[in-house]
Chains A and B, each alone.
Chain A
Amino acid sequence: MAATALSACGSDDGPPTLNWYVNPDGVDTLTALAKSCSTDQYKIAIQLLPSGATDQRTQLARRLAAKDSSTDLMSLDPVFVAEFANANWLEQLPDDVAAKATDDDVLSGAAETVTWDDGVYAFPQWANTQVLWYRKSLAEAAGLDMSQPVTWDQVIDAAADNGGTVGVQANKYEAYVVWINALIQGAGGDIISDNEAGKDAKIDIDSDAGKDAAAVIQKLADSKAAQPDLTTSNEGTSLGQMYAGAGEFMTNWTFVYQNYKGLVDSGDITQDDFSDLGWARYPATVEGEDSRPPIGGIDIGVGAYSKHPDYALEAAACVTSSEAQVDLAVNEGLMPSRTSAYQDPKLTEAYPADLLQLFSQSVEDGGPRPKSAYYATISAAVQSVWHSPTSVNPDTTPEKSAKFLRDVLDGKALL
């Protein structure tokens, strides 16, 4: 009797189930993908992670630190791939699989996020990037030629002189570091370099590029174009300002297009309003230098303690295929990391051609956040000194930030 009960609970009967921990973006399509990528040999089951990137990382890390064998596949924010790989929590992709996961079809910004220490540790699934969203009428009133690259200075002045605002993400959280990193990279610098040296990495934030970045933040914070909730702003708070008054220029992720399109369907904005929405490449920090748009998205990693790593690698390849990426983009607005997916008729029907071109170009030219086993520490240390944006000063903030970052990495300061 007991033996029967026990065998009923076991998973020895039938094919094994692979657990795929996903973040709650596009769950419907991910569930369909899990089903369609299941085979006679294994089933894929979806497990939901919390909504915040930090909480997702914590939950996965707690499982993997305990050598959890039921974590087979996981959706990872690109900045955590290096951390997890360095901790030996991710299965390194065999050379042949790695070659396919990062072949020439993958946009270079996305491909760069899955490598660590000369190895490939994940499959790029979807690629997020930021562009400059704006109200065409506002840019027109300011006499700004949006067909040419614009700088942060131009955008802030244009908004301030014409009753508009500039929407950014400047709450004390990860997205603020996304902004700071993009500003520094746009000026030709880095937060850190020689990343693979771990805590002995070179700290570069106190540089001309760091000062240029701080100058942009200071300018916006002191400008009439700053939104009232600048110090607590996030991806969602600035959305509402696009159609308020003269409108805004806003740096934000790719989901914005589908978001406003949905508002037309629900009757919250008119088709004319929607037609007034413009998009352009991420603004340049320094005139004449190319901007480095932020890179986000999701990479799929295979747990190092999985009981079925071969099946998990096969499943990961399936859920990141070009077809899977098209489904995610069309249904959920999560943009592909493969060039071929951008040419798929289903996608070209769903998005304007120039927007798709802008997205893929931005991912191609994007600047990733520092890849480091200490990324979470670096990010928190930067936030700690650069927040609030109203206190940022080019003469002092980068210097203070570099010193604090060094002390934190050396274990000489609490964070």
Chain B
Amino acid sequence: MTTLAEAPQRRQEREVHVSDRAKAETRLGQRLVAPAIILMLVVTAFPMLRALYLSLFNYSLTAPEDRDFVGLSNYLTALTDPLFWKTTGVTVLYMVVTVSIELVIGFAFAMVMHRVIFARGVIRTSILIPYGIITVVSGFAWQFAFSFQNGFINNWLPFIDSDFNWFGQTTPAVIAICVSEIWKTTPFMSLLLLAGLAQVSEDMIEAAKVDGATWWQRLWRVILPNMRAAIMVAVLFRALDAYRIFDNIFVMTAGAVNTESISFLTYRQTIEQFQLGIGSALSVLLFLSVLVIAGLIVKVFRVDLAAARQEG
């Protein structure tokens, strides 16, 4: 109780003693970043507000004179349409499957990169190579790999017929897209986890070792709990990225056989159909769902982001 009561008081005292020079530096700092913040707001806020505005209209780019104000009707249409929920379901599936697998493989890679003592540069570089490849290129590469005409996957898997068409049905097509996505972005996950691993104090691990903790116990009781913030950041970044999946689907199936994600549905409405109203409504819904996912992940990991940045 005493500790709790004292803490705010101490902080208050610190604030009182902020020097004029520190205040002036803070003001200078604010002035220096202000142009960047204003520019960022203009660049990001304008399209977002414009999308919000357009989403209130039934508006096709090829029929500018037929533009009708329909209020929230586009949102109602989207939220009551089975197609919206079907694509949302598929998108969540992509996100959950790829992020879970990437977390496990990415952590294994991070451990390798962290502990490796020989050829460290080569090993780290080779693990990171897929992330350096453009998604469209990796999508094409995996499309060829899964092709029953000239791909190698069917020949490598003994339980698959050599003429099995991966892109002919939903489940195999989703698997192929997930494989491409996992291959491409696991290095990113491992890079973030490597940064987290580097922050775990070697002293703590040594102490646990001295206390007789097995490798498994050290991992679960020492390393992972101390990496919680890094894991959250990795999962958060990748989950948001995975929820917006587009390129791999565009290249590999073009949305056929129910592999369409919510981003792809938005693209089709806006770019292919020129339906700016419903397309904008879908992008606003996509934005809101990304916010919800981000909030959920932060809540699940119970990480105080300010504490993670050592500002608390």
Chain A positions within 8 Å of B, measured between CB atoms, are 54, 58, 61-62, 65, 83-84, 86-88, 172, 198-199, 373-374, 376-377, 380, 410-415
Asked whether, in the complex, the Cβ of A84 is within 8 Å of the Cβ of B77, the reply is no
A–B complex contacts, Cβ < 8 Å, 25 sampled? A61-B61, A61-B274, A83-B62, A87-B63, A87-B64, A199-B66, A373-B60, A373-B66, A374-B60, A377-B273, A380-B272, A380-B273, A410-B58, A411-B74, A411-B77, A411-B275, A411-B277, A411-B278, A413-B77, A414-B77, A414-B83, A414-B269, A415-B268, A415-B269, A415-B275
The chain B residue sitting closest to A82, CB to CB, is B62
Chain B residues near A58: list those with CB within 8 A: 271-272
Q: A58-B271, A377-B273 are in contact. Are A414 and B78 (CB under 8 A)?
A: yes
Q: How far is the CB of B96 from chain A (nearest CB, A)?
A: 23
Q: A411-B58, A411-B278 are in contact. Are A373 and B77 (CB under 8 A)?
A: no
Please measure, in the bound complex, the distance between the C-alpha atom of A204 and the C-alpha atom of B58, giving whole angstroms: 23
Residue among B58, B60, B73, B275 facing the most chain A CB atoms (10 A cut-off): B60
Please measure, in the bound complex, the distance between the C-alpha atom of A172 and the C-alpha atom of B255, giving whole angstroms: 12
Please measure, in the bound complex, the distance between the C-alpha atom of A380 and the C-alpha atom of B278, giving whole angstroms: 16
What 5 pairs across the A-B complex have the smallest Cβ distances? A411-B58, A373-B63, A87-B62, A83-B62, A414-B81
Chain B residues near A414: list those with CB within 8 A: 77-78, 81, 83-84, 265, 269, 278
Asked whether, in the complex, the Cβ of B70 is within 8 Å of the Cβ of A198, the reply is no
The chain A residue sitting closest to B84, CB to CB, is A414
Please measure, in the bound complex, the distance between the C-alpha atom of A22 and the C-alpha atom of B36, giving whole angstroms: 42
Chain B residues near A410: list those with CB within 8 A: 58
Q: A411-B70, A413-B77, A413-B81 are in contact. Are A376 and B273 (CB under 8 A)?
A: yes
Please measure, in the bound complex, the distance between the C-alpha atom of A346 and the C-alpha atom of B111, giving whole angstroms: 74
The chain B residue sitting closest to A411, CB to CB, is B58
Q: A58-B272, A411-B277 are in contact. Are A374 and B63 (CB under 8 A)?
A: yes
Chain A residues near B62: list those with CB within 8 A: 61, 83-84, 86-87, 373-374, 376
Complex interface residues of chain B between 63 and 87 (CB less than 8 A to chain A): 63-64, 66, 70, 73-74, 77-78, 81, 83-84
Asked whether, in the complex, the Cβ of A411 is within 8 Å of the Cβ of B64, the reply is no
B160 beta carbon closer than 8 Å to chain A: no
B256 beta carbon closer than 8 Å to chain A: yes
Asked whether, in the complex, the Cβ of B63 is within 8 Å of the Cβ of A199, the reply is yes
Chain B residues near A412: list those with CB within 8 A: 77
Chain A residues near B271: list those with CB within 8 A: 58, 62
Chain A residues near B61: list those with CB within 8 A: 61, 65, 87
Complex interface residues of chain B between 253 and 306 (CB less than 8 A to chain A): 256, 265, 268-269, 271-275, 277-278
Asked whether, in the complex, the Cβ of A411 is within 8 Å of the Cβ of B73, the reply is yes
- Interface contact tally, CB-CB below 8 A: 65
Q: How far is the CB of A370 from chain B (nearest CB, A)?
A: 13
Residue among B81, B271, B274 facing the most chain A CB atoms (10 A cut-off): B274
Please measure, in the bound complex, the distance between the C-alpha atom of A87 and the C-alpha atom of B65, giving whole angstroms: 9
Q: How far is the CB of B266 from chain A (nearest CB, A)?
A: 10
Q: How far is the CB of B312 from chain A (nearest CB, A)?
A: 45
Q: How far is the CB of A400 from chain B (nearest CB, A)?
A: 14
Please measure, in the bound complex, the distance between the C-alpha atom of A172 and the C-alpha atom of B256, giving whole angstroms: 9
Q: A411-B58, A413-B77, A414-B78 are in contact. Are A198 and B272 (CB under 8 A)?
A: no
Asked whether, in the complex, the Cβ of B272 is within 8 Å of the Cβ of A54, the reply is yes
Chain B residues near A380: list those with CB within 8 A: 272-273
Q: How far is the CB of B82 from chain A (nearest CB, A)?
A: 9
Chain B residues near A376: list those with CB within 8 A: 62, 272-274
Q: How far is the CB of B149 from chain A (nearest CB, A)?
A: 13
Q: A411-B278, A414-B81 are in contact. Are A198 and B64 (CB under 8 A)?
A: no
Asked whether, in the complex, the Cβ of A86 is within 8 Å of the Cβ of B63, the reply is yes
Please measure, in the bound complex, the distance between the C-alpha atom of A58 and the C-alpha atom of B63, giving whole angstroms: 15
Asked whether, in the complex, the Cβ of A377 is within 8 Å of the Cβ of B265, the reply is no
Q: How far is the CB of A223 from chain B (nearest CB, A)?
A: 23
Chain A residues near B269: list those with CB within 8 A: 414-415
Q: How far is the CB of A355 from chain B (nearest CB, A)?
A: 35
Chain B residues near A86: list those with CB within 8 A: 62-63
Please measure, in the bound complex, the distance between the C-alpha atom of A301 and the C-alpha atom of B151, giving whole angstroms: 42
Q: How far is the CB of B259 from chain A (nearest CB, A)?
A: 14
Chain A residues near B256: list those with CB within 8 A: 172
Chain A residues near B265: list those with CB within 8 A: 414
The chain B residue sitting closest to A381, CB to CB, is B273
Please measure, in the bound complex, the distance between the C-alpha atom of A87 and the C-alpha atom of B63, giving whole angstroms: 6
Chain A residues near B73: list those with CB within 8 A: 411
Q: How far is the CB of B255 from chain A (nearest CB, A)?
A: 11
The chain A residue sitting closest to B59, CB to CB, is A411
Known: A373-B62, A374-B63, A411-B74; 13 extra A-B contacts, CB below 8 A, are A61-B274, A62-B271, A83-B62, A86-B63, A87-B63, A87-B64, A172-B256, A373-B60, A377-B275, A380-B272, A411-B77, A411-B278, A413-B77
Q: How far is the CB of A127 from chain B (nearest CB, A)?
A: 24
Q: How far is the CB of B263 from chain A (nearest CB, A)?
A: 14
Chain A residues near B66: list those with CB within 8 A: 198-199, 373
Asked whether, in the complex, the Cβ of B60 is within 8 Å of the Cβ of A377, the reply is yes
Please measure, in the bound complex, the distance between the C-alpha atom of A377 and the C-alpha atom of B278, giving whole angstroms: 13
Please measure, in the bound complex, the distance between the C-alpha atom of A65 and the C-alpha atom of B59, giving whole angstroms: 14
Q: How far is the CB of B297 from chain A (nearest CB, A)?
A: 28
Q: How far is the CB of B165 from chain A (nearest CB, A)?
A: 10
Asked whether, in the complex, the Cβ of B273 is within 8 Å of the Cβ of A198, the reply is no
Chain B residues near A415: list those with CB within 8 A: 268-269, 273, 275
Please measure, in the bound complex, the distance between the C-alpha atom of A308 and the C-alpha atom of B199, giving whole angstroms: 63
Chain B residues near A62: list those with CB within 8 A: 271
Chain B residues near A199: list those with CB within 8 A: 58, 60, 63, 66
Chain B residues near A373: list those with CB within 8 A: 60, 62-63, 66
Please measure, in the bound complex, the distance between the C-alpha atom of A415 and the C-alpha atom of B58, giving whole angstroms: 14
Please measure, in the bound complex, the distance between the C-alpha atom of A65 and the C-alpha atom of B271, giving whole angstroms: 11
Please measure, in the bound complex, the distance between the C-alpha atom of A374 and the C-alpha atom of B81, giving whole angstroms: 21
Chain A residues near B64: list those with CB within 8 A: 87-88
Please measure, in the bound complex, the distance between the C-alpha atom of A198 and the C-alpha atom of B275, giving whole angstroms: 13
The chain B residue sitting closest to A88, CB to CB, is B64
